[in-house]
Structure 1
């Protein structure tokens, strides 16, 4: 890990700067970067979104990224050592793309599965979230790339997130929502923290006293606190608080207004110095300051990257059910000659590998479940049926169907148009989704841009009715073979989050009848008329094309036929970009469309049915006790299909355990994410996730920590040694199955007759063990002192209540296998 710059060096650099230069450094230079400052020997520093892969400054297919499993999938590994490898891969990706600061990890809690960004967060549990987040942060920063833990704090929903006020009691805030941030600041030494949009108890987080009093004062954080993008809204309150950097830039609430406030004595210059000192310290750590260099990070070959992503994906897959059919468990499947596999479902091809918003990247390749299972079993042994369509919107056009007019090469032609209709620049691209920020093309100044024109030729692979359209926010015109078929202003609904305009933008389209092989020219024009000259400009648009579809009933009937002809049916169901994304919350846990019906009808056609759930957050599974095998795969990254083949055949254990309690359906007692009168009340207090089910004696679909492997285990002795400061729980287990396996040993605490309110049971520690068949193994699980503590609001301190704690060892929060007692 890079050494900190001496304080004397930072002070000398500060002394070189005028007030105006210092204030300039406190606002971003553009959408992703910080200003350079030659007077301080400071080069430009680049930030990048990074929860599931490092995007870089471009957000399109021209600069692809390694697409890692989503954070829920990473947390499902419960494996600090494996996530250390993930952190090093992220660092290599960052350096490859010229990125100094990765805007990850996201450690907001899974307070409710309705949260639209659930997939981007790790867990419902603060201990697990803190540990897996710290593992990634340490690895990133060991390689000299800054991590940014976000979003401080209680940003656990999307609805009205820019303005909503979270009402939460102090003990709950400390023990749950601040806890993973504290772990990552104190134990992993994170270099940057992002302040959230929302308010907490009346104060917006970019102005909150939590930044100075807790983050700086109690935890000793010496890094940079930046705003979430556009979250800094005031001059004096933000500048006198703990916010160091307002992003993005170059505009914002500071600038000359803040200079005047300092000159007039309303903001102490010492505060400005503290903010800039932290920015310079960050620059020294990442090698952006004079006398420092970025730490070399060995590049990864594509094969090395693919292999690690594949291994991590399989390690996060959670097998929640594996019942017998004909006297033996359905999984693992035999992969030898003669096994006929039916692969069915809307998420079978393509699968969904990542969620929308800050976690979205463009990748160099993507193996769908169908691709991976064809590679595993052989193409001749695998049949495929779409089953149903679960989306209502027109999908992004498949680039394989598009070619540049005149030349006929794959892709689309783009023309950047000036105010008088002149061509400012041209480009050719191979994608159909476009996001421009900071720059469009060489020679195109944002202020001069009046429109963007996308032209391509669509070649129909089959005969039928196609849907052709466009998505975005603004004025759109579509012409097919010269005839204008769409000419309208597309707008977001009133009150919608701006990010919804990127992730679930309004769209317009028309049906088009085409014969197989027939071509139609598409000209899509997005008029630019709604920007303010001199500010940053973000233009996003999609070209949409859906292939012909005979309807759900015909598709399900075909799926039944394919399933009946196979030895095993693998049904891949899940969510899509209309359901899970940054910018909006979910309305229901139900799978979209007629997917539940598809599962039941395939099961009736073939009793050896495996259901694979491709969702970043819990979904209702009304068939879960009928289907013999169910595998939860989250959003597992670009090697999805290959990892799926590994796990289904038993080449690799399904390594995951649930990082969040899986509810039965929408009737479960789940916290609301919808503000009422501008407020979101965290009225459940300490009882989030499994804690709520335990307190109320309710049964979820699956508990936190649940997950099966391909062998069985028996817990024997459990013993606790040491005291509250150094307690270690020793657990003896035996592999009672027929193959080598790996088991997660989970330790929970509970406290009967406590003088303070407590959860019925809470996670205190965990560790993995491996053993051969018949072998005994001892798991040594350390417990931190914090596991026994609670936050005493009156004392303003963490305290241990003396007395007896139950130490419970289990396979999940609801499945306790052994218990002992520990006197503190």
Structure 2
């Protein structure tokens, strides 16, 4: 164990300052003189992106093989906290095998607009659901002794100009919507680290925002460290004063010298520097003392878990005439994504998957012979017309046409926001043309965010797999064939059109500022309060069976500020197939003296 007090007493200012920035791209500094080992960090959050060679934070350079679990936007549709705990646990096991001390996840920023290019990595538009799923994930991860890094703190709700944009948010909105999940996850899990975001919040960069970091450390009593997002620090001295212990990546000693100079000029007291370095030493000691480091894990078990999570997260949006599950063998599968699945997002969370199972091969493995047509190019091209014609010819006379479509890699990625809710035009044209020759069309969607579906009222079924990880194809086929009854429900609203979204007139803002003028009216809080029609609502999802609710009871009808009410309800499967239901509890306050949303999610439970 490190003797923190003795080390701090013996260390020179220069040595203390040196610990406050990275040793290289993925490591803290090692100080052999004091037996201080270095920490290893790696990107996450739905897999381990460990880079042993050339490093980057955009997912460009090669990383080691790892299990690619479903993305955050996907797993939240499962509403299954026990399953997400297991995912966190599995990620921790893969970190241990590779001697990784901190996994850079979980990202929990609220989905203010469906256009945010990184929404595939985040959970939900709802802060309560986000907090409960986040608590399960981090408890699972940290149960292995691996540290989590809760990010991006805070109000990092867009990719456009993310390094300079100033998010202007009133305090009530900030606390009720954008900080709620951070607060509750910090209080209930004590994440080893929190990552400060690139953007400004109410005029101050998050890395140097003392009010924000004081809230984290003093009000919420966070005991861990604050790490900058990679390259996010703008003024190292101000950041240190505000509460940022560790700047990443390495700065080649530049920021260390700035800290030393600030101490000598009494801008920073040595006592404050000792406090920051002391926290770092506590975390280094805790993480490097983990006796589980280096132990192996069961790859097959992790693959099975990834499959299970993907299955539980699939959302059945439409099933007219109960066309699903598949009952016929006269089937054609159409779409490039059936053979080359879009199974994860792009950017720092890109995982080098151990294996990738596509839907077409999974049909064959399930001994269901299907015809196939490509249907469209990943990048729209002059050849799309020919591909559509070939697909339509093959669709004629089939009992079921299954079209795999959705957002391509070029449409959503870290570093850029979408400009539209549309999927690629060539895919929409393909679906419309197929409908002219066959009405029994099932659309299987991939993507990390809501999209428009101009054909939704015409097709027989819509199944949304989001970004289901390396087992996405197998999981989807299991649902289509009825081996698994879909039980996912949407963790975000699908609007009819972009103009309906509450942040429409204030996203992504001006060159310098973005004003959150919609206030607390985010997602369903807006659509439900103002009776706005939507394509698919928050919390929506169908099943191959039916459930009946009865005997709803409360143990009391009045509750004081700190009180609790017990609610019980009977849920019965009245269909012909076993399945799971997600019971959702929403509350509202009548005769409120301040403006409030119509109702808010306050509890949920997945039952079977």
Residue 345 of structure 1 corresponds to: 335
Residue 366 of structure 2 corresponds to: 376
Residue 744 of structure 1 corresponds to: 582
Q: CA deviation at 1:356?
A: 0.6
Q: Assess if the C-alpha contact under 8 Å between 2:333 and 2:401 holds in 1.
A: yes
C-alpha distance in structure 2 between counterparts of 1:232 and 1:74, whole Å:
31
1:623 matched to 2:461? The reply is no
Q: Deviations over 1:542-576 (max 9, x none)?
A: xxxxxxx7711111111111222433211011111
C-alpha distance in structure 2 between counterparts of 1:73 and 1:64, whole Å:
21
C-alpha distance in structure 2 between counterparts of 1:62 and 1:751, whole Å:
50
C-alpha distance in structure 1 between counterparts of 2:293 and 2:580, whole Å:
35
Which residue of 385, 389, 401 maps to 1:569?
401
Q: CA deviation at 1:83?
A: 0.4
Task: Give the direction of change, closer, same or farther, for the CA distance of 1:669–1:231 in structure 2 (3 Å limit).
Answer: same
Residue 246 of structure 1 corresponds to: 247
- Tell me, which stretches of 5 or more residues in structure 1 are unaligned? 393-548, 771-824
Q: Deviations over 1:496-549 (max 9, x none)?
A: xxxxxxxxxxxxxxxxxxxxxxxxxxxxxxxxxxxxxxxxxxxxxxxxxxxxx7
Residue 768 of structure 1 corresponds to: 606
Larger mean Cα displacement after TM superposition, 208-217 or 645-654: 208-217
Q: CA deviation at 1:300?
A: 2.7
Task: Give the direction of change, closer, same or farther, for the CA distance of 1:252–1:367 in structure 2 (3 Å limit).
Answer: farther
C-alpha distance in structure 2 between counterparts of 1:377 and 1:609, whole Å:
21
Residue 23 of structure 1 corresponds to: 17
Residue 56 of structure 2 corresponds to: none
Q: CA deviation at 1:669?
A: 2.8
**In structure 2, the residue corresponding to 1:571 is in which secondary structure?**
strand
Larger mean Cα displacement after TM superposition, 695-704 or 100-109: 695-704
C-alpha distance in structure 1 between counterparts of 2:319 and 2:231, whole Å:
47
Q: CA deviation at 1:297?
A: 7.7
1:36 matched to 2:30? The reply is yes
Q: CA deviation at 1:583?
A: 0.3
Q: Deviations over 1:12-38 (max 9, x none)?
A: 332232211111110001111111112
Residue 501 of structure 1 corresponds to: none
Residue 608 of structure 1 corresponds to: 440
Residue 644 of structure 1 corresponds to: 476
Q: Deviations over 1:326-362 (max 9, x none)?
A: xxx011113xxx7132111132220111001111111
Q: Assess if the C-alpha contact under 8 Å between 1:207 and 1:243 holds in 2.
A: yes
Q: CA deviation at 1:757?
A: 1.4
Which residue of 299, 304, 309 maps to 2:296?
299
**In structure 1, the residue corresponding to 2:445 is in which secondary structure?**
strand
Q: Which has the higher contact order (CA 8 A, sep 6+)?
A: 2
Which residue of 422, 431, 436 maps to 1:599?
431
C-alpha distance in structure 2 between counterparts of 1:749 and 1:650, whole Å:
35
Residue 218 of structure 1 corresponds to: 219
Which residue of 312, 316, 319 maps to 2:316?
319
Greater strand share, 1 or 2? 1
Greater helix share, 1 or 2? 2
Q: Assess if the C-alpha contact under 8 Å between 1:376 and 1:642 holds in 2.
A: no
1:331 matched to 2:324? The reply is yes
Residue 757 of structure 1 corresponds to: 595
C-alpha distance in structure 1 between counterparts of 2:274 and 2:62, whole Å:
41
C-alpha distance in structure 1 between counterparts of 2:104 and 2:566, whole Å:
35
Residue 412 of structure 1 corresponds to: none
Q: Assess if the C-alpha contact under 8 Å between 1:390 and 1:594 holds in 2.
A: no
C-alpha distance in structure 2 between counterparts of 1:606 and 1:650, whole Å:
23
Residue 86 of structure 1 corresponds to: 87
Q: Assess if the C-alpha contact under 8 Å between 1:390 and 1:593 holds in 2.
A: no
Residue 566 of structure 2 corresponds to: 728
Which residue of 548, 556, 561 maps to 1:714?
548
C-alpha distance in structure 2 between counterparts of 1:617 and 1:160, whole Å:
20
Q: Assess if the C-alpha contact under 8 Å between 1:148 and 1:191 holds in 2.
A: yes
C-alpha distance in structure 2 between counterparts of 1:584 and 1:65, whole Å:
26
C-alpha distance in structure 2 between counterparts of 1:32 and 1:43, whole Å:
14
Q: Assess if the C-alpha contact under 8 Å between 1:612 and 1:633 holds in 2.
A: yes
Q: Deviations over 1:96-152 (max 9, x none)?
A: 222110000000011110100010100000011111111110111110000000000
Q: CA deviation at 1:221?
A: 0.4
C-alpha distance in structure 2 between counterparts of 1:586 and 1:649, whole Å:
33
Matches within 5 A, 1:40-79: 40-58=34-52, 63-79=64-80
1:680 matched to 2:514? The reply is yes
**In structure 2, the residue corresponding to 1:55 is in which secondary structure?**
coil
**In structure 1, the residue corresponding to 2:419 is in which secondary structure?**
coil
C-alpha distance in structure 2 between counterparts of 1:725 and 1:650, whole Å:
44
C-alpha distance in structure 2 between counterparts of 1:62 and 1:237, whole Å:
34
Q: CA deviation at 1:275?
A: 1.2
TM normalised by structure 2 equals: 0.95
Q: Deviations over 1:459-480 (max 9, x none)?
A: xxxxxxxxxxxxxxxxxxxxxx
C-alpha distance in structure 2 between counterparts of 1:231 and 1:616, whole Å:
25
Q: How many aligned positions are there?
A: 595
TM normalised by structure 1 equals: 0.70
- Tell me, which stretches of 5 or more residues in structure 2 are unaligned? 53-58
Q: Assess if the C-alpha contact under 8 Å between 2:582 and 2:605 holds in 1.
A: yes
**In structure 2, the residue corresponding to 1:639 is in which secondary structure?**
helix
Q: Deviations over 1:696-722 (max 9, x none)?
A: 211111111101111111211222236
**In structure 1, the residue corresponding to 2:494 is in which secondary structure?**
coil
C-alpha distance in structure 1 between counterparts of 2:191 and 2:232, whole Å:
21
Larger Rg over CA atoms: 1
1:689 matched to 2:523? The reply is yes
Q: Assess if the C-alpha contact under 8 Å between 1:389 and 1:593 holds in 2.
A: no
Q: Assess if the C-alpha contact under 8 Å between 1:388 and 1:593 holds in 2.
A: no
C-alpha distance in structure 1 between counterparts of 2:478 and 2:295, whole Å:
28
**In structure 2, the residue corresponding to 1:148 is in which secondary structure?**
strand
